[in-house]
Amino acid sequence: MSGLKQRLNSGELVIGTWVKTPQPIIVEVLSLTELDCLVLDAEHAPFDRGSMDACLAVQGRVPVLVRTPTSSPEHVLQALDSGAVGLVVPHIRSAEEARQLVQSTRYVSGGRGYAGSSRAAGYGTKGMERHRRDSQDVIVIAQIEDVSAVESIDEIAAVEGIDALFIGRADLTVALGAATPDDPAVVAAVQKICAAGAAAGRRVGMFLQRAGDAAEWQEQGATLFLLQSDHDFLRAGANALTAAVKHRGGGALV
């Protein structure tokens, strides 16, 4: 079992961030940090097959997952063949969709198409037996962000092969017609997902606008937090630098 999957399954706290810029240097730099994982956001950022492949090629100490554009077998296959250690798959709405997702990550009849020449297969050096065995380490995370998913959450959480439920709180806010992610209806839905994960022995993850809220949700069983992004770090760092120099210099920059 891969290190990250073992840590996730054991209930260890896992902290990651989104990568929104489709450039491998971003992955290289963030791999020098203390983050536990990175997630390429191929759903909302401009990753194509080539840029995703390039970013996965440079992953080092910090393992890299991919949030796929959809749950289609094609998108799952491309991310895994390129070497992603796991997937965060959006809009899983039912137990059947969760089962189909798991099947598309496995070398079984009707599942993941086999290629022995991919990066995941060591470019032909692993051999079929080892590559198929290694594929069992793929981390499969179902993103829960629809009303129907919340209504079916106990059944989704019970699907074998789903490693974690990831709460898409922003889309859940929209789906519930709420004004903010702090709306009581949204909070109640998040609590319901956490409870379902705990009951089924599945880990629960989430994105939070405020990193300080993580302690509250840890108490309810969440152990995976994907917080901020490379864009946030760039913006915050630039603003902090500018503010520090302006404050120290008494005003204008020369």
Q: Which residues are catalytic?
A: 44
Q: Sign of dihedral through CA atoms 241, 243, 249, 254?
A: positive
Distance separating alpha carbons of residues 250 and 244, to the nearest angstrom? 10
- At 145, list the tokens: 């962000």
Contact 47, 72 (CB under 8 A): no
Contacts of 57 (CB under 8 A, 6+ apart): 24, 82, 83, 119
**Alpha carbon separation from 243 to 210, 230, 246, 248, 249 (Å, rounded):** 21, 20, 5, 8, 10
C-alpha closest to that of 199 among 169, 155, 161: 155
Contact 23, 51 (CB under 8 A): yes
* φ, ψ dihedrals at 38, nearest 5°: -125, 150
Distance separating alpha carbons of residues 215 and 232, to the nearest angstrom? 21
